[in-house]
Amino acid sequence: MQKKTPLSFGQYIFIIYKTQIGIGVLTLPHDLFQISGIDGWIAVIFGWIISLIIGFFIVNTLEKHPDETLYDLLPKYFGKWLGKGILFCWIIYTLYAASYVFMYTVYLIKVWVLPNTSPILLGILFIVPIFQITVRGLPMISRYAELTFLVTIWMYPIILITAHYGMWFNLLPIVKDGWMPIFKSTPTTALSFLGFELIYLLYPHLKNKKQAYKGMFIANTMTAIVLLLVTILSYVRLSEAELSYAIWPTLDLIKLIRFPFLERLEIIFISAYIIILFMTIIPYLYMALSGTSQLIQRSSLKKYALVGILFLWIILLYSPIIGFQPIIYFKKWFANLGLIFAFAFPVLLWLYSKVFLALRKGQVKG
């Protein structure tokens, strides 16, 4: 068993919250608009409720084993080989998530800020801080999460400036075409809520276990507020035609903010957004790494695995993966994998654990 580094309540919230806020926020208004039109913002509320329920299942599953992460639980529940198989799937998922967000960050910076710079150069610059933070493990990540929260706290309130010339009548009538399109678009919000599955890893480290539910609730709610803010303001300020063709409505929204002393706020915003995106990459990468060391039962290999992954990312940047089509295509994959691992899996594991524990109890008694 690893030595546990204690995690304060605040750190627990910030890690979850800042992992959730990532690439989803930038594109969500467009994705929702495609399916449910102007009523898309209501889907965020449904997404929030579902995330809370899933979060409840996750914490409830772990409550029975307060000192064990998901990775310790899997072999216990499913036996050695099946447990390792599921563990392997989790490593693939978290690694995919980290890699995808990394590629997305490079692409985003390339399109919006540095169009003439080689993506490889950007990648090399990005992996340095990622390596430095990930290699020091959870204590460093939790501190980075706190820092991220403080440094980027100005970023979402600043969008409120755009509300000034907004047309609030755009939102009326609420639920104009019935509830069906809204329900249909609810899975789309999943991508933006991904990140609470980190509780599987964080829970054993949390100092006061009673606050796990509360922390999960606060983190999910903060994310939901940011998503609602961005979605509603986009719908109020941008026209329907723009929403249907703009890839990053949130950034278009920020582009409209103009101060007498500053013409292009979005450049500063996106540059600062790298900090937030790193905070999505790093926890997933860490989760993949600790899964790997669990799988091969050797934690000394962690560092080499990390270096290997980062080098692989740089090599991937040589291929034409940094382009519009692949980024859109792989996003669907990420969203679908997220639905399986972060939404379906916790429910199944919770049910399984109930049955499993009941059976074992019966065996002991018998």
Partner 1 sequence: MYLEKSDIILLLGIDLNEKNELVFFADTPVFNTDAKKKDHHIKVTAKSLREARYRFDSLSPGSIVKGKIQTILIGKKLLQNRAVLPYLDVILRDPKDDLNSRVIFIDGPVEDIFNANMSDKGRLSAVIRNMIDTSFYSGIITNPNLQQYVAQQLDTRFTPMVPAMKVIHNEPKITGMALLSHKGFYVTTLNLSESPLALSIQAFFTDKIPLSMNITSDKIHAKKELKRISIQIKKIKRKVDTRIVNGHYQFDVQLTLYADLVERMFFLDAEKHADLQNKIIEEQLDKEYNNLIRKIQQKKIDPIGFGVYARAFKYDQWKKIKGEWFDQYAKAKINIRTKLILINTGVSH
Using rule CB under 8 A, residue 324 touches partner 1: no
Say how many C-beta atoms besides its own lie within 10 A of residue 345's C-beta. Answer: 21
Using rule CB under 8 A, residue 255 touches partner 1: yes
Using rule CB under 8 A, residue 252 touches partner 1: yes
- Of 262-281, binders to partner 1 (CB under 8 A) are 263-264, 266
Closest to partner 1 by CB, 115 vs 157, is 115
Using rule CB under 8 A, residue 258 touches partner 1: yes
Using rule CB under 8 A, residue 31 touches partner 1: no
Residue tagged 């706190």 (tokens) = 146
Enclosing H/E stretch for 270: helix 265-296
User: Do 105 and 327 contact (CB within 8 A), yes or no?
Assistant: no
CB of residue 159 to partner 1, shortest distance in Å: 15
CB of residue 129 to partner 1, shortest distance in Å: 25
The rounded distance, in Å, linking the Cα atoms of 205 and 207 is 6
| Six token digits for residue 106 | 């490079």
CB of residue 177 to partner 1, shortest distance in Å: 9
> Using the rule CB under 8 A, which residue among 238, 274, 276, 306 binds partner 1?
238
288 three-state secondary structure: helix
Q: How many residues does the chain have?
A: 366
CB of residue 256 to partner 1, shortest distance in Å: 6
Please enumerate in sequence order all residues whose Cβ is within 8 A of that of 50, keeping only pairs 6 or more positions apart, or say none.
186, 190, 193, 343
Q: Which stretch binds partner 1 (CB under 8 A): 27-35, 130-138, 259-267, 313-321?
A: 259-267
Closest to partner 1 by CB, 191 vs 254, is 254
Using rule CB under 8 A, residue 115 touches partner 1: yes
- Of 149-178, binders to partner 1 (CB under 8 A) are 165, 167, 169-170, 172-173, 176
> Using the rule CB under 8 A, which residue among 117, 118, 184, 240 binds partner 1?
240
The rounded distance, in Å, linking the Cα atoms of 72 and 203 is 12
Closest to partner 1 by CB, 72 vs 242, is 242
Using rule CB under 8 A, residue 259 touches partner 1: no
Using rule CB under 8 A, residue 39 touches partner 1: no
Using rule CB under 8 A, residue 242 touches partner 1: yes
The rounded distance, in Å, linking the Cα atoms of 213 and 268 is 35
Enclosing H/E stretch for 282: helix 265-296
The rounded distance, in Å, linking the Cα atoms of 55 and 193 is 11
The rounded distance, in Å, linking the Cα atoms of 275 and 270 is 9
Size of the site for partner 1 (CB under 8 A): 23
Nearest to 38 by CA among 169, 165, 161, 164: 169
| Six token digits for residue 62 | 């772990």
CB of residue 267 to partner 1, shortest distance in Å: 9
Instruction: Give the binding site for partner 1 (CB under 8 A).
Output: 111-112, 115, 165, 167, 169-170, 172-173, 176, 238-242, 251-252, 255-256, 258, 263-264, 266
